[in-house]
Chains A and B, each alone.
Chain A
Amino acid sequence: MAATPLVELHDVTKRYGAGPLVLDRVSLAVQPGDFISLIGPSGCGKSTLLRLIAGLSPVSGGTLHVDGRTPEQAAAELAFVFQEPTLLPWLTVAKNVGLPQQLRGLSATDRAATSRRVLDLVRLGDRSAAYPRQLSGGQKMRVSIARALSLSPKILLLDEPFGALDEMTREHLNEELLAIRQQQAWTAFFVTHSVAEAVFLSNRIVVMAASPGRIHTEITVPLAYPRTAATRLSRDYHDLVAEVSRILRSVESAAA
């Protein structure tokens, strides 16, 4: 192994209270710059895994290190993008984006400067004075991503961020997400239901199985970055989508 892992899970198990085992001995070493997609049948613990890494919920067994520390200690390095945009409707776009900094106690001038910078990154610089209800679904999601990027995190956790969007918008946002990553080298955990999305975005795809939730297979995606709309036309891309789909189907039929 070249570098020390940025995120390291070793035999992590999780159950909620006295409930059934949700995650069973999950081990994963993530290097800086990795883009990991988590895919698997619903209820297999993908969201739970993100919440453990985010420090929103404690592990029940095993060890989990983020940047060599516990998730709580590494909170400043982590940002979460939820499935819903989760914008505060009473704040303008700019103020929503500045919220994490406001909670950290940064000054209004610093916040305004950062808001401008990250909103430009998601190409919404001209909507900073708008209120969330004036935006489309895709625009709201971009604001949500901008907000997550406002603290310059090392690790971005995304839980099906584009799941509610139409195909076209989703493909656009996928390309945009990779373009942003060209400029800011964060490490990503990306939960998705879409095999195409997983292949397009990630260098590693972790396929999970259910009951109990566990890692089934890991697939490396050898496609070179930067990836663009043209990548989706390539032969390798199609072969990979077919292969991952086949694995996913076998996992899902085993669960059914």
Chain B
Amino acid sequence: MPKRLLHFLLPAATGVIFILVWYAIRFSMNEEMQFLLPTPGEIIASFRDNGDSLARAALNTTEGALLGFAGAIVISAALALTLSLSSLIRISLYPYLMMLQMIPVIIFAPILILWVGPGLKSVVVITFLICFFPLVVNTTQGLISTDRNSVELFRMYRANRLQEILLLRVPAALPYFFTGLRIAAVLAPIGALVGDYTAGSSAGDGGGLGFQAIIYSSQAKYPALFATAAVTCVLGFVFVGVVVGLSWLALHHWHDSYERTDT
């Protein structure tokens, strides 16, 4: 069988088995316990009933995740460039970056609500904080890991500092940057969700998926809760998918991680 077909068939088969097991567990449960595990059919039905609130929440969470993610990319890139300039700057700032990473969102959320109020602003800040660290660390590492011979080459041709950064250090750091970006892309929707759960608000345009989950849970709409989880998964896949695509565009021509293997 061609490998391509296997790559499609095997996961599909796993999915079918998974759903069968799901139904099997569900129907072996006592009648009064069955609410704990809605069937896939019930979950799909809940999409119909709660479509509006789910869509609005998904949009709000996407907005928070995107803004926090984008902010983290821009600011981490600027900070990484600064950090790459001198080891003294790195030594001075690294402990505080670590501290920033250590702040638990649960503790930080009430402080944030105090500062910027609940809702989108808080969600964006929390997403930013969660995405920021892997981006800074990876990008900085990339900027300072430039091949020594290449640096000599640039010195030999009397390149100025700006040329060295733009034509050598930045492109050489791209694979590292994309490693950080992939991690951050996984974290961004989760960050927005956690942010929403801890600092969301129904005011204005309404809350995001985290906030919506609290509501569904209080209303005992369990299938809708599962639907919320599904939407979150899709959101995560979209984020990661876009980053994987961008990474491919930027790197596949030259980077070893995309080495063509003729098998």
A interface with B by C-beta (< 8 Å): 54, 56, 75, 78-80, 82, 84, 86, 88-91, 99-100, 102-104, 131-133
Contacts and interface: CB of A to CB of B under 8 A. Distances in A.
Contact of B259 (A78, A91, A100, A133): A133
B54 to A, nearest CB: 43
Interface residues of B, number: 22
Contacts of B171: 88, 90
Interface in B145-178: 147, 149-150, 152-159, 163, 167-168, 171-172, 174
A90 B253 contact: yes
B154 to A, nearest CB: 7
Closest 6 CB pairs of A and B: A86-B149, A89-B254, A90-B254, A103-B157, A103-B159, A100-B157
Nearest to B151: A86
Given A90-B174, A133-B256, A56 B152 contact: yes
B157 A86 contact: no
Best-buried of B149, B157, B163, B168 by chain A (most CB within 10 Å): B157
Contacts of B152: 56, 80, 82, 86
Given A103-B163, A133-B259, A88 B168 contact: yes
Nearest to B251: A90
B255 interface: yes
Contact of B147 (A78, A86, A103): A86
A104 B157 CA distance: 8
A165 B228 CA distance: 60
29 contacts: A54-B156, A56-B156, A78-B156, A79-B156, A80-B152, A80-B156, A82-B153, A86-B150, A86-B152, A86-B153, A88-B150, A89-B254, A89-B255, A90-B174, A90-B255, A99-B157, A99-B167, A100-B157, A102-B167, A103-B157, A103-B158, A103-B159, A103-B167, A104-B157, A131-B253, A131-B254, A132-B254, A133-B254, A133-B259
A56 to B, nearest CB: 6
Best-buried of B147, B152, B156, B255 by chain A (most CB within 10 Å): B156
A104 B156 CA distance: 12
A56 B159 CA distance: 13
A88 B151 CA distance: 11
Contacts of A84: 149
Interface of B: 147, 149-150, 152-159, 163, 167-168, 171-172, 174, 253-256, 259
A79 B149 CA distance: 14
Contacts of B156: 54, 56, 78-80
Contacts of B157: 99-100, 103-104
Contacts of A75: 158
B156 to A, nearest CB: 5
A68 B159 CA distance: 23
B154 A103 contact: yes
B256 to A, nearest CB: 7
Contacts of A54: 156
Contacts of A89: 254-255
A96 B152 CA distance: 15
A104 to B, nearest CB: 7
A161 B159 CA distance: 23
Best-buried of A75, A78, A90, A102 by chain B (most CB within 10 Å): A90
Given A78-B156, A89-B255, 18 more contacts: A56-B155, A79-B156, A80-B152, A82-B149, A84-B149, A86-B147, A86-B150, A88-B171, A89-B254, A90-B172, A90-B253, A90-B255, A91-B254, A99-B157, A99-B167, A100-B157, A132-B254, A133-B254
Contacts of A132: 254
Contacts of A88: 150, 168, 171
A123 B165 CA distance: 32
Nearest to A80: B156
Contacts of A103: 154, 157-159, 163, 167
Contacts of B153: 80, 82, 86
Best-buried of B147, B155, B253 by chain A (most CB within 10 Å): B253
A102 B157 CA distance: 10
A17 B167 CA distance: 31
Contacts of A82: 149, 152-153
A99 B191 CA distance: 42
B163 to A, nearest CB: 6
Best-buried of B147, B158, B255 by chain A (most CB within 10 Å): B158
